[in-house]
Amino acid sequence: MRAVFFTRHNNDFDTLVAVADAWVAAAPDNEALIYVATPALKWKNDFRTRMLRANPRIAFTDIWQVAGRAIGGPVDRLWQANKPDDRLERRLLEWATEAIVRPGFNAKLIAMLEAYDPDIVAFDWWNVPPRRKPFDHFGYQATIAWKQSKGVPLISLPHGMMLYEGRSQALFTWATPYDRIFMENDRRKAKFLKGGHPDSQIAVCGAPRYEPQWVDRLLVELRGPEPQKRDDGLAHVVFFDKRHAFYFDFTEHLQWLTHLADHPRVRLTIQPHPRGQKLASLRPLMGHPRIAIDAETPASLLIDRHDIVSTITSSVMVEAVIRGREILYPKFLSTVTTRFQEAGACIALESLADTHTAIDRFLAGERVPRPLYDDFLREVAFGGGSPNTRGRVVAEMTRIARQFRAARQAGPSPIPATAK
């Protein structure tokens, strides 16, 4: 069977490549086509792309190939070189992309889908708006209309991780006509049920990107089979910065990072969020002798090279827990309730003054009990079940695809809006 996967940005690419890999591994005749719906995703030189391209049954295409615009090459190269701080350049690239790609694009995308003849289509998010705005992701709305006319099932893969609860967090009321929406845990499912989605539309299978075997494969691909060995008596800490998804005091945030690095046995690496603060906002930290700012190294490698992973709410900490790293959580900087702090799966700091004491205890050998981390993973990342998250997603995709194929072969009887 054939599956088409739509993707827009790194957070969703993480999930999508894990599922596409498992899809083709599930059966010898399964094939996958990954369609990149925006030039902003730097996928071509990504190590995950290299992994998947080694399999002849996985292919990639993007908006430039669909549009057939050779003139797009120079613009695409500028996109691949664009940095988060180059926001004016990004806006100019958006305008150029619209002018080059948009004319006749939807018809060309549908022609591509018709030629590929997929048994199932997977989107990388839930809330597809009725109309595409300039500049936006190319092809989602046209594909929804095509799938409804052809009786091809449409699913939504897990999007991100639900790691915190904010007072303003809305219910999920979106009405995209999915035949199945995959969730990473029951707490997110409850939000969709309250938003009016039927229970039969939702499958809780866990987060595919955090299946431990997949996490291990990615790490070996990045750094080779041998782990880094280090015993220097220091606490090597990596902090993954947070996009402004909720209010927090950024000045206080910088003060805490400085205080953390003031501990004489701490070596601190900070990775800015790719769609968050500009690098210039971290300038007050750049002269500190024990702080390094690293915007380039893949997160998996940074986790591998450090003893402690710190964040405010980034889902990267889930991989850190799987890798056996300790989590340092500056609770006093956050205005939300986090799942890992609720579960006791972190070193929670109540105030800035707690920081050095926590580091001293870590250096003395004190650790968060591993069962607390394991319970957190099971309930939040593994959907309350085993770590076989990719297998559960692909098994359900296969069942849905076969059901819809049988319905198409049986004749023109209506395809149910939601697979039972």
What does residue 248 show for φ and ψ, rounded to 5 degrees? -155, 155
Q: What is the pTM of this model?
A: 0.91
Q: How confident is the model at residue 170, as a pLDDT?
A: 62
Distances (CA, A) of 310 to 14, 55, 99, 284, 328: 20, 35, 42, 19, 5
Return the bridge partners of 33, or none. 4, 59
Do residues 228 and 323 make contact, with C-beta atoms less than 8 angstroms apart? no
Do residues 385 and 378 make contact, with C-beta atoms less than 8 angstroms apart? yes
Query: What are 27's two structure tokens?
Result: 């059966």
Distances (CA, A) of 82 to 5, 89, 92, 138: 25, 7, 11, 19
Q: How confident is the model at residue 160, as a pLDDT?
A: 79
d(CA 102, CA 75): 14
pLDDT per residue, tens digit, the chain (420 aa), is: 999 999 998 878 999 999 999 999 999 999 999 999 999 998 998 999 999 999 999 999 999 999 997 778 899 999 988 887 788 999 999 999 999 999 999 999 999 999 999 999 999 988 898 899 889 999 999 999 999 999 999 999 998 788 887 655 567 777 889 999 999 999 999 989 998 999 999 999 999 999 999 999 999 999 888 777 778 999 999 999 865 545 567 788 899 999 999 999 999 999 987 665 667 778 889 999 999 999 889 999 999 999 999 998 888 899 999 999 999 999 999 888 889 999 999 999 999 999 999 999 999 999 999 999 999 999 999 999 999 999 999 999 999 999 999 998 887 654 555 443
Choose which CATH entry (1.10.357.10, 3.50.50.60, 3.30.830.10, 3.40.50.2000) describes domain 2-211+388-410: 3.40.50.2000
Return the bridge partners of 271, or none. 240
Do residues 283 and 214 make contact, with C-beta atoms less than 8 angstroms apart? no
- Any residues with CB less than 8 A from the CB of 7 and at least 6 apart, and which? 13, 16, 34, 35, 36, 37, 41, 43, 124
Q: How confident is the model at residue 420, as a pLDDT?
A: 37
d(CA 181, CA 183): 7
Instruction: Output the CATH code of domain 218-380.
Output: 3.40.50.2000
Do residues 113 and 149 make contact, with C-beta atoms less than 8 angstroms apart? no
Output the CA torsion 23→60→113→207 (10° steps). Answer: 40
DSSP H or E segment with residue 266: strand 266-271
Residue spans per domain, the chain: 2-211+388-410, 218-380
Return the bridge partners of 291, or none. 268
Q: CA nearest 129: which of 141, 145, 139, 119? A: 141
State the DSSP string of 301-348.
HHHHH-SEEEESS-THHHHHHHTT-EEEE-GGG-SSEEHHHHTT-SEE
Q: How confident is the model at residue 226, as a pLDDT?
A: 77
Q: How confident is the model at residue 150, as a pLDDT?
A: 94
Q: How confident is the model at residue 244, as a pLDDT?
A: 54
Do residues 330 and 312 make contact, with C-beta atoms less than 8 angstroms apart? yes
3-state secondary structure of 135: coil
Burial of 326 (C-beta count, 10 Å sphere; 0-12/13-18/19+): buried
**Preceding omega of 239 cis (within 30 degrees of 0):** no
Q: CA nearest 142: which of 157, 158, 121? A: 121
Does 2-211+388-410 match 218-380 in CATH topology? yes
